[in-house]
Structure 1
Amino acid sequence: MEIRNLRMEEKKLRIAFLLPSVISRGPVIFTHYLLMGLKERVKNVEIFYFKGRVEYDMGVKCTKISCYKAWDFSDFDIIHSTMGVPDIYASLFSKKTIWVTSMHSYNDKALKMEKSRFKAWIILFFWEKALAKAKNVIVSSKQMQDYYENYIGHKNYKVIPYGIIEHEYKDINKEDTKKLDEFKKKGYTIIGSVGLLNKRKGFHQIIKLLQVEKDCAAVIIGEGPELGSLCKLADEMGVTDRVFFPGYRDESYNYYQYMDIYAHVSYSEGFGLALLEAMSKRKPVICSQLDIYKDYFDENDVAYFEAGNILSLKTAYNKIIRKLEVYSEASYRLYEKFFSLANMTNEHIRYYFDVLNKEL
């Protein structure tokens, strides 16, 4: 479709997004960014969710619905679902509206690290049944497409990297500022990381790095079931005075102004939004060597390490500390090339019309 005709037609587009809940989690934040790009260009975007109350400002109308009852989506051209319950719901109740789903992680790896074996099996069983019915699947990398082709078969796949906006820094609260300023005054290199505190995110590796690298401190932003274990590990390693857990923070990117290095240390990941925010802020990046990132950056762009190998993490830290400026510029170059909001929005709109043209 020509650009001019696409611009005319997109003004008529109506999209319903299905989310499990409206909280500050990676897939929800991704959806928020996408909505920011879409809402000025399409006729209508709305969110429908199943659990809890709205805890994250999405900037559009949010409606809570029951996962056991069909909702009338006839006013929408597309239902775009994200995560397990929305995918299962869409597979059952989207008969009259075209369904698109976005996959944000490698399902089996993520769930097996976050849930009990039995609970993970139950979720995966029903989720796989739902995805078997899906025709239109968005993923963030070619490696993830390969994974899902083996998992649920051939679909109308589209690879679209995440996109974010560049935020202006704002002040953080006084208590947190005081703590981070103390690290700076002591001459520490501050390593930062953001995410849900669970085993899959691998934050314990940062604490173990502090034990062998005495010139650095860490700020790990987030909340979750592993907080107690991480605090205990810090005490055992004798680094309690060099690691700071502020908890969950809205607009956590404001803390990046205090970070010298961003560490993305996950064992498995769909795509790290906090990582992309760090790149947009020109932060040098240490990154676990996951297949999902191979399409976008190499060892000249980030300091890779093998997840679970502290010696490898130490090597990556020493590599990046010698070339902070080089890796800083590499981060921003990657952001501009692959991860802008405009690029993500344009690619989604084109895909929506591709789906509509095929199915109508």
Structure 2
Amino acid sequence: MKVAFIVPSLQNLGPTIVVNTIIKHLCYNGVEMSVYYFDESEAMDFNCPVYKIVNNSPIDFDSFDIIHSNMYRPDKYVYHWKHRIRKAKIVTTIHQDIFRNLRYNYNCIISVCFTPLWIKYIKKFDRKIFISNTIKNLYSFENSLVIHNGIDIEYNPQLANQLYVEKIWKLKQHGYTLLGTYAAINRGKGIDQLIELARMRKDLGIVIIGNGKEKHALQLLARRYNVNEQILFLPYLHSPYNYLQHIDIYVMPSRNEGFGLAMIEAAMVGVPVICSNIPIFHEIFNENQVVFFDLENIDSLSEAVNIILSKYKYYKDSIYSYVMNHFTGEIMAKKYLNLYNSIVD
């Protein structure tokens, strides 16, 4: 079987991480794979040939059995060239609530204009794969199914930039309980709630890893609340889970999320998790594995911290066991392989 994956770029972001994880496992199952991308960026390493799509020119689609598209630009590209695809089956993975994701990453105008277009493209695919039932239930596509994300990590704190590790350790030396989070920072990630929490709780330190259009606004908010000494902003870091060794609790305070790979990673390195009570997180976890808090309710977030600290080992062990049995890369890749085989057969 030959599979072509098409992604916007090779950057270390959620959809590309998922594709990379699938490839790592399927290369041991006799699947011949290639990756095609559009935009140059800091690149992940792939266990297969990688090609740049130049000037939107068509690839040799029918030299593959499966064309697997991910995100808007690849979906648009496959839709544009669909008339030239005779043999290959085309599938796409929908990684988020399209309307809300475009709104948080861009603005309402972009969301209103581009959501109908994207849905138009998706409808032409042979299979539509959703990463959660929460997202699938928003749409009424035929030939659709759910495959939850999975992830593999190579946890090695020795690979972390020691300058940043020392900054985290220095913050911890103030006696703070450290809360950590990492993300491509936009309003949908809800990280402003952590700064509000620092204003309320002088016993907490916050480590925020990542870049994004809302980062400067968060830094200004921290200054306005006079909590700079409690908060450490770090830039985008490769394999950010390698910086969690001194973090006591991982917090995912998202207002909108496609899945939540970051908290899966945190659980895999033995850090207990607090997350917002949005539907997708309830689909992934229950109250025995994480502590939920009510969005925009800082008292609820503060109480979630107290609950974790009161039963720290229980939550740490419970979520670790659960993710290792449900959300590994191998589990996800097997489901994709079964899907590919069912389409080709």
* TM-score of the pair, normalised by structure 1: 0.91
Preserved contact between residue 50 and residue 65 of structure 1 (Cα < 8 Å): yes
Partner of 1:69: 57
Alignment of 1:185-334 (within 5 A): 185-334=173-322
Task: In structure 1, give the amino acid aligned to 2:223.
Answer: D
- Tell me which of 37, 50, 73 is aligned to 1:49: 37
- The one-letter code sitting in structure 2 at the alignment partner of 1:160 is I
Using the alignment, how far apart are the partners of 2:221 and 2:47 within structure 1?
39
1:163 Cα shift?
1.2
Aligned to 1:8: none
Q: Secondary structure at the match of 1:182?
A: helix
Return 5+ residue gaps in structure 1 as ranges. Answer: 1-12
Maintained 8 Å contact 1:202/1:265: yes
Could you tell me whether the CA contact under 8 Å between 1:217 and 1:243 is conserved in 2?
yes
Match for 1:82 among 64, 67, 70? 70
Q: Does residue 137 in structure 1 map to residue 125 in structure 2?
A: no
How far did residue 195 of structure 1 move? 0.6
User: What is the distance in 2 between the residues matched to 1:342 and 1:193?
Assistant: 25
Shift of 1:67: 6.0
Matching residue's letter, 1:100: V
Check whether the contact 2:6–2:67 (CA below 8 A) recurs between aligned residues. Answer: yes
CA RMSD of aligned residues (A): 1.5
Q: 2:143 aligns with which of 156, 173, 181?
A: 156
Matched position secondary structure for 2:37: strand
Which AA in structure 1 matches 2:99? D
What is the rounded CA distance, in whole Å, between the counterparts of 1:166 and 1:174 in structure 2? 19
Task: Tell me which of 95, 105, 109 is aligned to 1:104.
Answer: 95
Amino acid at match of 1:256: L
**Aligned-partner Cα distance in 1 for 2:250–2:262:** 9
Say if 2:129 and 2:146, in contact at 8 Å, map to a contact too: yes
C-alpha contact 1:169 1:257 (8 A) present in aligned 2: no
- What letter corresponds to residue 206 of structure 1 in structure 2? L
Once the two structures are aligned, what percentage of the paired residues are identical? 31
Output the CA distance in 2 between the equivalents of 1:45 and 1:258. 38
Read off the aligned partner of 1:99 and give its amino acid letter: I
Is 2:141 the partner of 1:146? no
Instruction: Indicate conservation of the 8 Å contact 1:191/1:219, yes or no.
Output: yes
Letter in 2 for 1:163: G
Q: CA deviation at 1:229?
A: 0.5
For 1:22-41, list aligned pairs within 5 A: 22-41=10-29
Alignment deviations for residues 95-126 of structure 1 (CA, whole Å, 9 cap, x no partner): 32201111111001111122122222232132
Alpha-carbon distance, 1:184 to partner: 2.4
Q: Write the distance in 1 (CA, Å) between the matches of 2:221 and 2:19.
A: 34
8 Å CA contact 1:71, 1:93 repeated in 2: no
Deviation at 1:53, TM superposition (A): 4.2
Q: CA deviation at 1:170?
A: 2.7
